[in-house]
Structure 1
Amino acid sequence: MKKLFNNYINTFKGLSEEIWWLALITLINRAGTMVIPFLSLYLKDNLHFSISQVGWVMSAFGLGSVVGSWIGGKLTDKIGYYKVMVRSLLTTGILFIVLQFLNTFVSICIGIFIVMLVADAFRPAMFVALNAYSKPENKIRSLTLIRLAINLGFSAGPAIGGLIIIALGYTGLFWVDGITCIIATLLMIKVLHPKKAKILDAIENKSPVSAYSDYAFMIFLVAMVLFGIVFLQYFSTITIYYKDVHALSELQIGLILGLNGFLIFIFEMPLIKWLENTKYTKLGLMFFGAILTGLSLLILNFTTWSGILVVGMLLMTIGEMIAFPFSNAFAVNRAKKGNQGEYMALYSMSFSIAHIFGHNAGLQMTAALGFDNTWYIISLIALICAIILFVLNRNLNLKRLL
């Protein structure tokens, strides 16, 4: 047992101090994003929106994320990652507090769009900061540490969010979201001032390649959009499914979602360190991650037993643990060919585009076709994603695409 514990601790050695601070800031910020998993329930139950209207609000969510990621990438290349991160975090905190006072369909759509535009400008800047603060040999583990912080916050967030809903109602979530963003901003100003930063992996490229002309990267982004559409069902459609089909309470929903983050916090870093030493390529591992994530939804149709929800969450968690760190690493490695902000903005935008279509498609399909047919269709999308990754991996190995 002691040996296992020591091996676990050793997986974190060698990471820079700045990466640890960035992880802590991310943890504080992510712990407060408990509104997001409950957003579809809030709109449906508190504001009495129809499922179709909820779908369009989630599309506004995704559209804001796309625009914000694009702007964040441009600003990162122009004014630097630090200024973008600080301004995004602080403004997001204020906007989350304001969001609770909107209650009409149009105002909510506009409000969600603006919040996500500002919030997701943070993402490409954070990826560039990771690239700057990480030694080349520690890239994947640094990315994994940030994901651990995200998922530790996410495991605590929904569980605490369920308690807050019971005690204070949904409006309490908006206050917590806003305050935690502001706290994360203050901590960042205190411990990650650019004058204290030392760039560990500066990349100088006097004639950068446009990400748009990197065909392998663009195909990879298509696969990421499809994967995002599948994965994002766990942030909108699945919570309604838990409540309407399996009659779970908000607290029970929060605990199941929290299980995902807890398992990732415990197992992802050792798993990634082990997988790094295997013969599998990044794209090959992402293929397995896509298959498992699609299977996690497909099996929900096999039985009415509520325990299948936990089995599905376990499969999705393993798929996520494999797919996300190696997709991040693949994107960061390709970014060395050109403007890092542009590359990482496009990578972030792939998930933002998935937000536009994923939530809305899932919710519209459940309204029109029912949950069972929706899970079949979403699983098929996961299979298409896996096939694209398999073919891309094969072509890169044969050097047909560079």
Structure 2
Amino acid sequence: MKTLFKSYINTFRGLSEEIWWLALITLVNRAGTMVIPFLSLYLKEDMHFTVSHVGWVMSAFGLGSVAGSWIGGKLTDKIGYYKVMVRSLLTTGVLFIGLQFLNTFASICMGIFIVMLVADAFRPAMFVALNAYSKPENKIRSLTLIRLAINLGFSVGPAIGGIIITGLGYAGLFWVDGITCIMATLLLIKVLHPKKAKVLDVIENKNPVSAYNDHAFIIFLVAMMLFGVVFLQYFSTITIYYKDVHMLTELQIGLILGLNGFLIFIFEMPLIKWLENSRYTKLGLMFFGAILTGLSLLILNFTNWSGILVIGMLLMTIGEMIAFPFSNAFAVQRAKKGNQGEYMALYSISFSIAHIFGHNAGLQMTAALGFDTTWYIISIIALICAIILFVLNRRLNSKKLV
């Protein structure tokens, strides 16, 4: 056991102090985003919206995310990642607190759009900061550490969120979201001010390549958008499925969602370190991740036994642990060819587009076709994603795409 623990600790060695601070800031921020997994339930149960209306609100969520990621990338290349991160976090905190006071369909759609526009400007800036604060040989592990912070936050957040809803109702979540964003801002100003932080990887391109002309990267983004559509069912459709089909309480839902983050916190870093030394390429590993994530929803149709929900979550967690770190690493690697903010903005936008269509499509399909048919369709989308990654990997290996 001691040897196993020592081996686990060694997977974290060599990462810069700035990366650890960035991970802590991300943890504080993401622990407070407990509204997001419960947003569809909040709109349905507390605001009494129809499933169709919930779907359109989630589309506004995605549209705001697209706009925010694009603006964040532009601002990052223009004024720098530090200013973008500070302003995004602080403003998001204030907006989250105000979101609870909106009570009409139109105002909530607009409010969600504005919140996500500001919040997701943070993402491309954070990726560029991560690239700057990490040595080239530590990129994937640095990305994995940030993901650990995100998932630990998501693990703690839903579990606490379920308790808060039980005791204080949904309004308490908005206050916690806002306050934690403001706390993350104060920590960011304290520890990552440009005068204190040490940049380890400076990338200068006199003639940067436009991300829009990088054909392999664009194909990769299409696959990531499809993967996002599948993955995001766990943040909207699946919670209603848990509630309506398996009759779980908000606390039980929070615990199942929290299991995902807990498993990632324990196992992802050792898994990534092991896979880094395997013979598989980044795209090849993403292929397996897409297959497992699609399978996690497909098996829900095989039985009415509620234990299948845990098995599905385990499969999705393994797929996520494989797909996301290596997709991040692939995007960062391609970004060295051009404007980093532009590349990382497009990477973020691929998931933002998934937010536009994924939540809404899943919710509309469940309303019109039922959950079983929806899971079959989503599984087919996962298969298409896997095929695209497989073909792209073959073509890059044969140098047919550069």
TM-score range, shorter-chain basis?
A: over 0.9
| 1:338-376 superposed Cα distances (whole Å, 9 cap, x missing partner) | 000000000000000000000000000000000000000
- Aligned residue identity for 1:155: S
Partner of 2:358: 358
In the alignment of these two chains, the number of paired residues is 402
Find the aligned partners of 2:222 and 2:192 in 1 and give their Cα distance. Answer: 34
| 1:120-139 superposed Cα distances (whole Å, 9 cap, x missing partner) | 00000000000000000000
Partner of 2:136: 136
Residues 1:209 and 2:227 aligned together: no
| 1:83-120 superposed Cα distances (whole Å, 9 cap, x missing partner) | 00000000000000000000100000000000000000
Partner of 1:295: 295
- Aligned residue identity for 2:145: L
Partner of 1:108: 108
- Aligned residue identity for 2:203: I
- Aligned residue identity for 2:369: L
Residues 1:84 and 2:84 aligned together: yes
Partner of 2:235: 235
TM-score (ref. length: structure 2): 1.00
Partner of 2:266: 266
Partner of 2:34: 34
Residues 1:119 and 2:116 aligned together: no
Kindly indicate whether the alpha-carbon contact (under 8 Å) linking 2:82 and 2:125 is maintained by their aligned counterparts in 1.
yes
Q: Secondary structure at the match of 2:338?
A: coil
Q: Secondary structure at the match of 1:33?
A: coil
Find the aligned partners of 1:400 and 1:46 in 2 and give their Cα distance. Answer: 53
Find the aligned partners of 1:259 and 1:331 in 2 and give their Cα distance. Answer: 28
Find the aligned partners of 1:332 and 1:186 in 2 and give their Cα distance. Answer: 27
| 1:256-305 superposed Cα distances (whole Å, 9 cap, x missing partner) | 00000000000000000000000000000000000000000000000000
Partner of 1:369: 369
Partner of 1:391: 391
Kindly indicate whether the alpha-carbon contact (under 8 Å) linking 2:290 and 2:386 is maintained by their aligned counterparts in 1.
yes
| Cα offset, 1:184, TM superposition | 0.3
Find the aligned partners of 1:202 and 1:3 in 2 and give their Cα distance. Answer: 37
Partner of 1:44: 44
Find the aligned partners of 2:4 and 2:378 in 1 and give their Cα distance. Answer: 38
Partner of 1:68: 68
| Cα offset, 1:46, TM superposition | 0.5
Find the aligned partners of 1:286 and 1:228 in 2 and give their Cα distance. Answer: 12
Unaligned runs of 5+ in 1: none
Find the aligned partners of 1:197 and 1:54 in 2 and give their Cα distance. Answer: 42
Structural mapping, 1:304-323, within 5 Å? 304-323=304-323
| Cα offset, 1:204, TM superposition | 1.1
| 1:196-216 superposed Cα distances (whole Å, 9 cap, x missing partner) | 122101111100000000000
Partner of 2:193: 193
Kindly indicate whether the alpha-carbon contact (under 8 Å) linking 2:217 and 2:334 is maintained by their aligned counterparts in 1.
yes
Q: Secondary structure at the match of 2:147?
A: helix
Partner of 2:15: 15
| Cα offset, 1:77, TM superposition | 0.1
Kindly indicate whether the alpha-carbon contact (under 8 Å) linking 2:191 and 2:197 is maintained by their aligned counterparts in 1.
no
Aligned residues with identical type, % of pairs: 89
| 1:222-274 superposed Cα distances (whole Å, 9 cap, x missing partner) | 00000000000000000000000000000000000000000000000000000
Kindly indicate whether the alpha-carbon contact (under 8 Å) linking 2:141 and 2:272 is maintained by their aligned counterparts in 1.
yes
Kindly indicate whether the alpha-carbon contact (under 8 Å) linking 2:289 and 2:318 is maintained by their aligned counterparts in 1.
yes
Find the aligned partners of 2:274 and 2:131 in 1 and give their Cα distance. Answer: 22
Find the aligned partners of 1:76 and 1:32 in 2 and give their Cα distance. Answer: 24
Residues 1:97 and 2:97 aligned together: yes
Find the aligned partners of 2:183 and 2:212 in 1 and give their Cα distance. Answer: 37
- Aligned residue identity for 1:246: H
After TM superposition, the structure 1 stretch with the greater mean CA deviation from structure 2, 195-204 or 219-228, is 195-204
- Aligned residue identity for 2:256: I
Find the aligned partners of 2:113 and 2:93 in 1 and give their Cα distance. Answer: 15
| Cα offset, 1:219, TM superposition | 0.1
Kindly indicate whether the alpha-carbon contact (under 8 Å) linking 2:134 and 2:200 is maintained by their aligned counterparts in 1.
yes
| 1:290-325 superposed Cα distances (whole Å, 9 cap, x missing partner) | 000000000000000000000000000000000000
- Aligned residue identity for 1:175: W
Partner of 2:157: 157
Partner of 1:247: 247
- Aligned residue identity for 2:28: I
Partner of 1:339: 339
Find the aligned partners of 2:199 and 2:255 in 1 and give their Cα distance. Answer: 39
| Cα offset, 1:378, TM superposition | 0.1
Find the aligned partners of 2:50 and 2:204 in 1 and give their Cα distance. Answer: 51
Partner of 1:218: 218
Deviant stretches of 4+, over 4 Å: none
Kindly indicate whether the alpha-carbon contact (under 8 Å) linking 2:295 and 2:379 is maintained by their aligned counterparts in 1.
yes
